[in-house]
A and B are shown apart, each in its own frame.
Chain A
Amino acid sequence: AQKVTQAQTEISVVEKEDVTLDCVYETRDTTYYLFWYKQPPSGELVFLIRRNSFDEQNEISGRYSWNFQKSTSSFNFTITASQVVDSAVYFCALSEGSLFNTDKLIFGTGTRLQVFP
């Protein structure tokens, strides 16, 4: 069955610390897509990144980086030198598609990140 697990419910760090948010997924599909979304206190969902199952290259975007490892079914997200504005709930999500003709997003339960000054 398809599932996304974010075991860290809440993380608190002090500004400038690095922090890694974990995401573990389960899927029946061989082709799938993984996403991270940010939900700031204002409530909207902001798209951060999409990765395809056939592309395991890690990605860096400014202070953000993502580590995708199919061998461990993980798609972890690291924020380097965290800032107060990074405080939000972060959701990892999975979308299957090749076998089951579905594109719905399956979300994890989210990790609340609090960055203190």
Chain B
Amino acid sequence: EPEVTQTPSHQVTQMGQEVILRCVPISNHLYFYWYRQILGQKVEFLVSFYNNEISEKSEIFDDQFSVERPDGSNFTLKIRSTKLEDSAMYFCASRTTGGLYEQYFGPGTRLTVT
């Protein structure tokens, strides 16, 4: 069964460093998302991406964040200068076209900023 994959599973970085979280969505999906979950809290929407551009972003997704689909398979989230409060689980999700079908989530990348 096709699935969304994410790498790395765990990333530790120092405050102020840049990180890139990688995702490989399900191959025939065209809508891509990033969400984050601070430990013990709810899952929060960051950004959605379709047709090589951002379709929507939340207030959390400020200038420190960017997304890219550098090739036909990867979807990345970059945080330019990490802060302690960026520590969270970051989930990538994707869905197929046509209606609001369910989003399938990857296993997540746990980002720890020290």
User: Which of A43, A47, A104, A106 contacts B102, CB < 8 Å?
Assistant: A47
Distance in Å: Cβ of B18 to nearest Cβ of chain A: 24
A109 to B37 alpha-carbon distance, docked (Å): 10
Q: Across the interface, which residues of B come within 8 angstroms of A37, CB to CB? A: 105
- Point out which of B43, B56, B58 has the most chain A C-beta atoms below 10 A from its C-beta: B43
A45 to B48 alpha-carbon distance, docked (Å): 17
Contact assessment for B43 and A105 in the assembled complex, using a CB-CB cutoff below 8 Å: yes
Contact assessment for B42 and A110 in the assembled complex, using a CB-CB cutoff below 8 Å: yes
Q: Across the interface, which residues of A come within 8 angstroms of B45, CB to CB? A: 104-106
Please classify the interface of chain B as helix (H, G, I), strand (E, B), loop, or mixed, using the class held by over half of its residues.
strand
A109 to B41 alpha-carbon distance, docked (Å): 7
Q: Across the interface, which residues of B come within 8 angstroms of A46, CB to CB? A: 105
Q: Across the interface, which residues of A come within 8 angstroms of B105, CB to CB? A: 37, 44-47
How many residues belonging to A are interface residues under a CB distance threshold of 8 Å?
Answer: 23
Give the contacts of A90-117 with B (CB-CB under 8 A). 91, 93, 95, 97, 102-110
Q: Does B65 contact A (CB under 8 A)?
A: no
Contact assessment for A43 and B44 in the assembled complex, using a CB-CB cutoff below 8 Å: no
Known interface pairs A103-B48, A107-B43, A109-B42; A50-B89 also in contact (CB < 8 Å) = no
User: Which of A35, A42, A43, A102 contacts B56, CB < 8 Å?
Assistant: A102
Q: Does A64 contact B (CB under 8 A)?
A: no
Contact assessment for A107 and B44 in the assembled complex, using a CB-CB cutoff below 8 Å: yes
A93 to B35 alpha-carbon distance, docked (Å): 13
Q: Does B33 contact A (CB under 8 A)?
A: yes
Q: Across the interface, which residues of B come within 8 angstroms of A45, CB to CB? A: 43, 91, 93, 105, 108
Give the contacts of B85-107 with A (CB-CB under 8 A). 89, 91, 93, 95, 100-107
Identity of the chain B residue whose Cβ is nearest the Cβ of A98 in the assembled complex: B100
B: residues with CB less than 8 A from A are 31, 33, 35, 41-45, 48, 56, 58, 89, 91, 93, 95, 100-108, 110
Q: A103-B31, A104-B56 are in contact. List 6 more A-B contacts (CB 8 A).
A: A44-B108, A45-B105, A47-B102, A50-B102, A104-B48, A107-B43
A: residues with CB less than 8 A from B are 33, 35, 37, 42-47, 50, 91, 93, 95, 97, 102-110
